[in-house]
Structure 1
Amino acid sequence: MRDQAQAFRWIAPESRVLHQIGNNRGHLFVLEALRLFPGVVTIHDIGLFYLYELEARGIDPMLAQMMHSSPRLAAVYGRHWKRMGMKTAANYALFDMQRELLARSTGVIVHSHFAKAKLQALYGAEATRHVSVIPHFAPPAEMPERAVARQKLGLPADAFIVATSGFATRAKRFDWMMEALEQVLAEGVELIWIHAGEERPHEYDVSSQLERYPLLRERTRITGYVDEDALNAYISACDLLLNLRFPSVGESSGTLARALAAGRCCVVSDTAAYRELPREAVVHLPVLDQVRSLACAVSALHRDRELLHAFGANARRYAETELNIASVARRYRDVIEESQGRAVARPGLLPPRAKTNSVLVLDGGADLSPQRLAAALGEVTGSCSLLLKFSSMQEIIASSLGDAPLLARLLPEHVALADVRILAPEDAANSNDPSQDVLPPELAGRGGILLRLEVAGSAA
């Protein structure tokens, strides 16, 4: 085993650094490396909520990240998560965690135009000017012939085999696949389903859910985690590979690239990055009514082997041309060389952190909102004071009664209230007591609500 702490020991300032980052525990050290050594970052999974959740110590840093990603949604979903213990799959699709990656990189590579468009929509054209689109390469490994792979794995030579591969997650819609395959079997179509990959019961318990489908259960093999050679063999042994995603955040799939290289007919969801795959190279399923559509597709491809093989041949041709590793490598080289010497500062990303223990000021009244308060806090972490300015005690009372409870509504979930006091206008004008918070002189004659806050830092 390599010591990750030593992995970057000999990197010189002029070195060309390339980071590959995905959405699982194995990439946490890459995130740390990027903070030490800026470089070109390849993002394989647009969103990265799960990665930052793994890194965060407690819920508050994640709530801070969510507030930076989408303040309006974070006010609702953060409250549900912290106060009610409700965290749904929507969190992983709605909240983007790539602000830090964009800010700390000299160049960014994504695998689809969908992914780039999403980043541009969230962060703006200027902040994403260094983002390039390069497709996920098809691996150069020799994929065994179908008959050889089946013999090696002890699979029937004449069976119609449907395969899925990789980690079992909820977004891969095993629920839809199992229901569709059960329908196909009930219609008299004979097939075997193999899942070549690791189950993740905490995300989606495939084995448990399979009990609901008695016909499919008797014709299923779940391998667990397999090494690269075995994965290639299972993909090569199948007739049809299913690779669905919904909801999709623009992620790419290495196992799909392997299946294309093996010349296998692949069925994908017609959404996000998968929409960019050539129509003649993969079968696209409509997002709506995918169970019925998938059942029809499997039955039709089982019946029409010429069509099945035509899709497979087109898939291999696409892998050998557009996804060819030499072609992809040349494009990577161009991006890496272009990024040399590029500054990492990005407009609108990771602004300088405000000093703690200072007094922030925000006008109260009708325009006061959780979004304005979140913007005022900005990148503050730790202790700070916040004065909500009001012209009179009557205005404070009116604001509190109009949308009570005022502070509970305004404060983001990652902000804790340490102290609160009401300042009448004369308090603000005569706040020279050293035991009290020192207020800026421009507040003379103005009253308000003075808050002492503890602001959790984001996971970044």
Structure 2
Amino acid sequence: MKIAFVTPLSPEKTGIADFCEEILPLMKDYFQIDLFSSHNNPSNKIISENFKVYKYEKLEDENIRNQYDMIVYQIGNNVECHGKIYELALKYKGIVELHDISIEGLIWGMTLKNNNRDKYLDIVEYCHGKEARRRAEGAFNGECIPLWDEPLRFPLNKKLIDSAEAVIVHSDLGFQIVKGTRNNLNIAKIYHHTNDIYNNYDELKEIYKKELGMGNELIISSFGFATRTKRIPQILEALSKVKEQGCKFKYIVAGKVEEEINIKDLVDKFGLRDNIEITGYLSLEELKKYMLATDICLSLRYPSHGESSGIFHRILGMGKLAVITDEGTFSEYPNKVCLKISMENETENIKNAIIDIINGKINMKEYERNAMEYAKSNFDIKENVLMYKSFIENPYDNNLYDPLDIISDYLYKLGIVEKDLINSLKF
């Protein structure tokens, strides 16, 4: 079976490029795959040496397009990386993999960023009806809350879903939203993988703390592109209160910081100049070193776009205690695997969680063990690739989402029963 795989590739600075460059070498064992990207010179040698890579425009050629049995599109919210992919997916049917269930950010970048309100409003009306269009028009006039403040209520994905042959998502929430948008569409839920699963995470922590020149102080980190949705201002305010309690720590922002945040001003405002390190953009390998060296990972997200987080799955596989926002897809993870923060009194909740960890009221070691075991059970890259194989070979017969999984997941998250017990009842 010959596949056209449409995706960003390195050196494009996006986690979706990293994601694809990890699964493609394994998928190559089952399919003949050609890649289509914004450029044809990927910096990852494994990709450049094992795949033919063409520019997106080549798919516009019908003679080239007809060589493939299926097209697979990777869709995220970054317009620079996914705008052209979105346009191709609307024109030429294929399997769409939605890394963000709400693509509001992508649509904004393709329309309002270019002052094209009419195109934006047309998409709003197509996806959510005339009333949503009127509300969007009212938001432009300052009469109501804009749609982009409620991305899961107005995900702006219907046009893309209606154009798809089938859809791959990474969460229960994603499955339900896509199914509700187009009930007769075949959908596969395949967890975002990680191939970074380590039983010796304690040993690796000490190794990389030394390599990165860290002391014995507690290391708290946020990873990836630091935007307002990752709650950086709220984290800094909470950490200032942790510092007031006499707690010693280093906070590392491992990634590029969104300019709108003005992080230097916030650091000075909250008196954290001696407690913070901002690395700037890191390669995936550099980022992994900081992950392995970290004690507490802050993976907060609000508002949620129903996104999947490769970084979050990596840190679970590395045996890290992750503090997450109890919203969107993050609410689906079991309580014993990660520490959840309510948005009500968010800053105070972040502060209390960190102080409770420092004071031993929260058992860090137990969370670390549970995180790694959960990743091992759910995010194994080889098992995930077999699910991709099954769905791509027959996207019209979706057997990758068993309703019994909903029940087992729910009972597991409540701590009532282990999944294996329910799964043993399947026949």
TM over 0.5: yes
Q: What is the aligned counterpart of 1:38 among 86, 93, 96?
A: 93
Structure 1 counterpart of 2:118: 60
1:303 Cα deviation from its structure 2 partner: 2.3
Q: What is the aligned counterpart of 2:329 among 267, 273, 277?
A: 273
Across the aligned residues of Structure 1 and Structure 2, the Cα RMSD in angstroms comes to 2.7
Structure 2 counterpart of 1:434: none
Are residues 1:193 and 2:251 paired?
yes
Q: What is the aligned counterpart of 2:300 among 241, 244, 247?
A: 244
Are residues 1:206 and 2:206 paired?
no
- Residues 210 and 63 (structure 1 numbering): CA distance in 2 closer, same or farther, change over 3 Å? farther
Are residues 1:290 and 2:341 paired?
no
Local SS of the residue matching 2:240: helix
- Residues 259 and 83 (structure 1 numbering): CA distance in 2 closer, same or farther, change over 3 Å? closer
1:172 Cα deviation from its structure 2 partner: 1.3
Q: What is the aligned counterpart of 1:159 among 207, 217, 230?
A: 217
Q: 8 Å contact 1:173–1:246 — kept in the other structure?
A: yes
Local SS of the residue matching 1:195: strand
- Residues 315 and 141 (structure 1 numbering): CA distance in 2 closer, same or farther, change over 3 Å? closer
Are residues 1:20 and 2:78 paired?
no
1:30 Cα deviation from its structure 2 partner: 1.8
Structure 2 counterpart of 1:149: 208
1:141 Cα deviation from its structure 2 partner: 7.9
- Residues 13 and 104 (structure 1 numbering): CA distance in 2 closer, same or farther, change over 3 Å? farther
* Higher Cα Rg, which structure: 1
Local SS of the residue matching 1:284: strand
Amino acid at match of 1:240: I
Which has more helix, going by share of residues? 2
- Residues 83 and 269 (structure 1 numbering): CA distance in 2 closer, same or farther, change over 3 Å? closer
Amino acid at match of 1:42: E
Work out the CA distance in 2 between the residues paired with 1:72 and 1:162: 44
Are residues 1:335 and 2:335 paired?
no
Structure 1 counterpart of 2:19: none
Amino acid at match of 1:174: I
Q: 8 Å contact 1:77–1:91 — kept in the other structure?
A: no
- Residues 199 and 88 (structure 1 numbering): CA distance in 2 closer, same or farther, change over 3 Å? farther
Are residues 1:170 and 2:224 paired?
no
Q: What is the aligned counterpart of 1:324 among 380, 391, 399?
A: 380
What is the TM-score normalised by the length of structure 2? 0.72
1:264 Cα deviation from its structure 2 partner: 0.7
Are residues 1:103 and 2:162 paired?
yes
Question: Alpha-carbon deviations, 1:338-371, whole Å to 9, x = none?
Answer: 22699xxxxxxxxxxxxxxxxxxxxxxxxxxxxx
Identity level (%):
23
Aligned residues: 336
Question: Alpha-carbon deviations, 1:89-115, whole Å to 9, x = none?
Answer: 516454322112212221111111112
**Structure 1 residue ranges, 4+ long, deviating more than 4 angstroms after superposition:** 6-11, 82-89, 91-94, 140-144
1:119 Cα deviation from its structure 2 partner: 3.0
Q: 8 Å contact 2:123–2:159 — kept in the other structure?
A: no
Q: What is the aligned counterpart of 1:233 among 275, 283, 289?
A: 289
Structure 2 counterpart of 1:4: 55
Amino acid at match of 2:330: Y
Are residues 1:116 and 2:213 paired?
no
1:309 Cα deviation from its structure 2 partner: 1.9
Q: 8 Å contact 2:150–2:303 — kept in the other structure?
A: no
- Residues 11 and 68 (structure 1 numbering): CA distance in 2 closer, same or farther, change over 3 Å? closer
1:305 Cα deviation from its structure 2 partner: 8.9
Local SS of the residue matching 1:17: strand
Local SS of the residue matching 2:214: coil
Question: Alpha-carbon deviations, 1:353-401, whole Å to 9, x = none?
Answer: xxxxxxxxxxxxxxxxxxxxxxxxxxxxxxxxxxxxxxxxxxxxxxxxx
What is the TM-score normalised by the length of structure 1? 0.67
Amino acid at match of 2:71: V
Higher mean C-alpha displacement, 298-307 vs 173-182: 298-307
Work out the CA distance in 1 between the residues paired with 2:65 and 2:397: 15
Work out the CA distance in 1 between the residues paired with 2:340 and 2:142: 41
Structure 2 counterpart of 1:50: 105
Work out the CA distance in 2 between the residues paired with 1:324 and 1:261: 9
Q: 8 Å contact 1:112–1:135 — kept in the other structure?
A: yes
Q: For structure 1, list consecutive stretches of 5 or more residues without a partner in the other structure.
A: 343-460
Work out the CA distance in 2 between the residues paired with 1:198 and 1:306: 30
Local SS of the residue matching 1:109: strand
- Residues 148 and 6 (structure 1 numbering): CA distance in 2 closer, same or farther, change over 3 Å? farther
Q: For structure 2, list consecutive stretches of 5 or more residues without a partner in the other structure.
A: 1-38, 41-53, 399-427
Q: 8 Å contact 1:260–1:315 — kept in the other structure?
A: yes
